[in-house]
Amino acid sequence: MTESIAMLYIAGGIMLGVGAAGAAIGIGILGARFLEGIARQPEMLGMLRTQFFIVMGLVDALPIIAIAIGLYVLFAVVGGAG
């Protein structure tokens, strides 16, 4: 195995790991702030829930794209070279 293929495996693995960790941290912080907002103003539940799901989708989009690119690197680029 050449060094370039080994580096592609490492890059793909890092992209998968960082993508998953980033999504977990981002949604965890978002959920904590959502619960904090509901605890402070329970009457705002409807509006906060709507905003929560919109922002959660935006926060989750980038890690999903990173995971897709990481899988592409692992299976298409490295698989075709090896």
Q: CATH number of the domain at 36, please.
A: 1.20.20.10
Give me the domain span that covers residue 25: 3-81
**Residue position matching structure tokens 């965890």:** 28
Work out how many domains the chain is built from and give that number: 1
User: Would residue 37 show up in a list of annotated catalytic residues for this protein?
Assistant: no
Which of 20, 55, 60, 74 is flagged as catalytic?
60
Q: How confident is the model at residue 78 (pLDDT cuts 50, 70, 90)?
A: confident
pLDDT in tens, 26-66: 899 999 999 999 999 999 999 999 999 999 999 889 888 88
* DSSP-assigned letter for residue 41: -
Q: What's the pTM value of the predicted model, to 2 decimals?
A: 0.72
- Tell me the three state secondary structure of residue 1: coil
